[in-house]
Amino acid sequence: MSAVRASGFGLGSALPKIVRGSGSYLYDTSGKRYIDGSGGPAVFCIGHAHPEVNAAITRQLAEIACAYRYLYTSSALEDLTARLRALCPAYSQVLFTGSGSEANEAALKIALQHFSARGLPRKRHFIARRRSWHGNTLGALSVSGFAERRRSFEGSLLDVAFVSPANTYRLPEGIAAENLSAHLAAELERVILARGPENIAAFIFEPIVGAAGGVVPAPPGYAAAVQAVCRRHDVLLIADEVMCGAGRSGTWRALEHDGIVADLMTVAKGLAGGYIPLAATFCTPTVAAPILSEHGAFQTGHTFSGHTAACAAGVAVQEIIARDGLVERVRTTGAAFQEAMRAALSKFAAVGDVRGRGYFIGIEFVADRASRRPFARERNLSFDIGARAFADGLICYPCAGNVDGTNGDTLIIAPPYNASDSELEEILAKLTSAVAAALSAA
């Protein structure tokens, strides 16, 4: 990752110092106000400094900050577990970690342990998709098809097979949109057969690709088609909902849109809303039963798994989301917000696609709308737009390389679920201004 990108969307090394947040806004030491149009990286789902969440964390800290998960349970841990199982009744087990990377790492390990417990130790390998992102640990990075983020670690990553992205805006040559799901399911099956089903543990995918693709929902029928392939060959299906789940796409599980339940699911960013790091890995009874019968427990975990104060934060965030009907708000308002964004940006020939679900919206920029040719990498268009927006007090999430790992510019908008209508209008106005300024620049 270049120095420019590593240091804040083209802002260089002199990052502003943040001093406080309030709802959808943050303030730096100069008093400048920023509206959080992307929830950071789609994390801050109920905004900043929510008094109820802060009070819940304070109460928990006054009692016990962290009771080591492998010696104690706690009310916060039990309450959050019960809430998540009620939200996702198809899953019998919930394992907590501290980040989406860890949650995906745990999912990979659980898949391996599942087959070991069944006496199938050859099932050691994974299949993933190109233009995907699953995290920064070596295992999660191994199953990520994100060339720029992998480059420094090649040679130490797992041997993973990659299949094509599921992107209706960028179709494989000769494939019509209505045939894409069947085409991709057939490709997955060919790879499983080529590698040997006896060697494949799991296929991992994002129901809505985030940073690696700029919000790319899977086409209709895709999830069910790949699940059918996996079941035919005794391959587990892992849904990475770290970015798109926990209500972000207008349903608590992103795959609710697709009508399926994956064998394993990971959730993170919106789980505790960024108040304290927290993530979770869910698994079905079918996955868990052999492990618990043969080994007695999952052989994955960390010192801070199920951190008590983090679970208390998660309980408070989920209480607010449920009480205030925020997932329903995301579902109903999100479609209108996306349409308003599409209308506002339609005047720019460089805006090729506006897509997404709920409050998870991606914008793809192209040098030629007819051919969908991307801008040259050297232009750094998405980061230029992101920097201009930031200077004007809008936080958004620029990404690059979505076309071929090098070229392609996208921008993610992912506001807090409880952002007001006027705040959504402010986000759109500042975004439109930043796009206009960047495209008019020499």
- What pLDDT does 304 receive? 95
Is residue 164 located within the same domain as residue 258?
A: yes
pTM of the model: 0.96
Q: How many domains does the chain have?
A: 2
- What pLDDT does 14 receive? 85
- What pLDDT does 140 receive? 97
What order of strands is seen across the sheet that includes strand 25-28?
18-22, 25-28, 33-36, 394-395
Is residue 33 located within the same domain as residue 88?
A: no
Question: Which is nearest to 226 in space by CA: 285, 286, 166?
Answer: 166
Is residue 160 located within the same domain as residue 64?
A: yes
Confidence check: pLDDT of 4 > 50: no
Residue 176 domain boundaries: 53-323
Is residue 309 located within the same domain as residue 341?
A: no
Collapsed DSSP state (helix, strand, coil) of residue 280: strand
- What pLDDT does 9 receive? 54
Confidence check: pLDDT of 430 > 90: yes
- What pLDDT does 1 receive? 28
Select from 260, 289, 323 the last residue of a domain. Answer: 323
Is residue 119 located within the same domain as residue 262?
A: yes
Is residue 62 located within the same domain as residue 124?
A: yes
Question: Distance between CA 401 and CA 60 in Å, rounded?
Answer: 43
Question: Which is nearest to 382 in space by CA: 366, 393, 371?
Answer: 366
Any residues with CB less than 8 A from the CB of 414 and at least 6 apart, and which?
37, 38, 39, 42, 248, 359, 360, 361, 397
Mean pLDDT throughout 111-132?
98
Is residue 166 located within the same domain as residue 277?
A: yes
Is residue 408 located within the same domain as residue 303?
A: no
| β-bridge mates for residue 160, sequence order | 126
Select from 323, 354, 370 the last residue of a domain. Answer: 323
Banded model confidence at residue 2, pLDDT cuts 50, 70, 90? very low
Mean pLDDT throughout 21-49?
98
Is residue 329 located within the same domain as residue 266?
A: no
Is residue 299 located within the same domain as residue 335?
A: no
Work out the mean pLDDT of the chain and round it to a whole number. 96
Is residue 371 located within the same domain as residue 262?
A: no
Output the domain CATH number for residue 23: 3.90.1150.10
Confidence check: pLDDT of 442 > 90: no
Mean pLDDT throughout 212-226?
97
Select from 323, 351, 386 the last residue of a domain. Answer: 323
Output the domain CATH number for residue 241: 3.40.640.10
Confidence check: pLDDT of 6 > 70: no
Is residue 279 located within the same domain as residue 334?
A: no
